Amino acid sequence: MPQARAEERDKLEELTRRIRRDIVVATTAAGSGHPSSSLSMVELCTSLFFGGVLRYDPANPQDPDRDRFILSKGHAAPGLYSVLAEAGYFPTENLQTLRKIGSPLEGHPNMNRLPGVEASTGSLGQGLSIGVGHALAARLDGRDSRVYVIVGDGESGEGQLWEAVMYAGNHGLDNLTCIVDHNGYQQTGAVADIQPLDPLTQKYEAFGWAAREIDGHSLDEVTDAFDWVRGIEGRPQAIIARTVKGKGVSLLEADPGNWHGKPIPPEEEAKALEEIGAPA
């Protein structure tokens, strides 16, 4: 690996630790929320926002030429907020207001209250359609904006998602990337037991997408995948990211089927932060 890229990766790794810390601290302070669903997408979001992939400007959040990032799995809001704070949309200390009355950091993302949030989500299955709309608008206006949507694997049971996948594939929306945070678990158990999705890569390919499966916690593979999507012409791209629900915290990783939508108890927080290796 070239030196520059290794340094870049070290920087991103440090950011993933900070973002994981912020997710844990904010949800434990809130006493509710979805840390495990947030922790699985940290490398994906970190590479997007801080690896030179996403074009954005916190000082001009409505710039028509910006890229769009849509978190379709809106319950992973603590992950989104931690990334947006790190990106400079608001001070990191505001993360402590998560889910509290008066705070724009609502339980699920609210685009009208928090700059940087591109879509209000929380009813599953809707983000990719919204992404298609943005992609069509960019195409119509001749802008080179790109649209990135993160969907969950449990969320992929929603029919609307597949309506959007079919539309994007049929219309060759190559400015649209769908990232599946395939952490393997939904609210009450394993996706493979409830509504199996695999072979997911082939499903996207069958709908006319370019699709690739990666290790969603390998910054190298994630970075490569984002390089790859930007080189694809004529087809939307799907990144099927194999991830671990609750990644980085052994308590959550050990029993992912039982930790959906539950914060880390205060007495477990110190151990979790130690495992994450977060800076104080």
Partner 1 sequence: MTFGITRVDLEVGDSTRAAFGEALAAAGADERVVVVDGDVNNSTYTNKFKAKYPERFFNAGIAESNLVGIAAGLAASGKIPVVASFSTFLLSNAFDQIRMSVAFPNQNVKLVGTHAGISIGEDGPSQMAIEDVAQACAFPGMTVIVPADAPSAQAATQAMIEREGPTFLRCGRPNVPVVYPNGPELHVGRANTLREGDDITLVANGIMVAMALDAAQALADDGIEARVLDFHTVKPIDSETLEQAAVETKGIVVAEEHMAYGGLGATVAMALAERHPTKMAFVNVGDTYATSGKPDEILAQYGLTPDAILDAARRTLKG
**Subset of residues 28 to 67 that bind partner 1, contact rule: CB under 8 A:** 64
38, 120, 156, 177: which one contacts partner 1 (CB under 8 A)?
A: 120
The count of chain residues that interact with partner 1, using the rule CB under 8 A, is 31
What are the counts of helices (DSSP H) followed by strands (DSSP E) for the chain? Answer: 11, 7
133, 157, 172, 189: which one contacts partner 1 (CB under 8 A)?
A: 133
- d(CA 5, CA 52) in angstroms, rounded, equals 12
Q: In this structure, what DSSP letter does residue 60 have?
A: S
106, 118, 153, 213: which one contacts partner 1 (CB under 8 A)?
A: 118
- d(CA 71, CA 126) in angstroms, rounded, equals 10
Nearer to partner 1, 25 or 119 (CB): 119
29, 87, 137, 194: which one contacts partner 1 (CB under 8 A)?
A: 137
Binding of partner 1 at residue 136 (CB under 8 A)?
yes
In sequence order, the 6+-apart residues with CB closer than 8 A to the CB of 267 are none
User: What tokens were used for 136?
Assistant: 């069509």
HSE toward the beta carbon, residue 116, CA cutoff 13 A:
22
Nearer to partner 1, 61 or 257 (CB): 61
- d(CA 176, CA 169) in angstroms, rounded, equals 10
71, 132, 211, 239: which one contacts partner 1 (CB under 8 A)?
A: 132
* Sole window of 6-14, 111-119, 183-191, 232-240 interacting with partner 1 (rule: CB under 8 A): 111-119
**Subset of residues 212 to 231 that bind partner 1, contact rule: CB under 8 A:** none
Buried b (16+ CB within 10 A) or exposed e, 92-128: bebbebbbeeebebbbbbbeeebbbbbbbbbebbbbb
Nearest-approach distance from CB 63 to partner 1, in angstroms: 12
38, 129, 156, 183: which one contacts partner 1 (CB under 8 A)?
A: 129
Nearer to partner 1, 132 or 178 (CB): 132
* Sole window of 10-18, 44-52, 126-134, 209-217 interacting with partner 1 (rule: CB under 8 A): 126-134
For the chain, the distance separating the N- and C-terminal CA atoms, rounded to the nearest angstrom, is 30
- Per DSSP, helices labelled H in the chain are 3-30, 35-39, 42-50, 77-87, 127-141, 159-170, 191-194, 200-206, 219-229, 250-253, 266-276
Q: Which residues bind partner 1 (CB under 8 A)?
A: 64, 110-112, 118-123, 125-126, 128-138, 140-141, 159-160, 163-164, 166-167
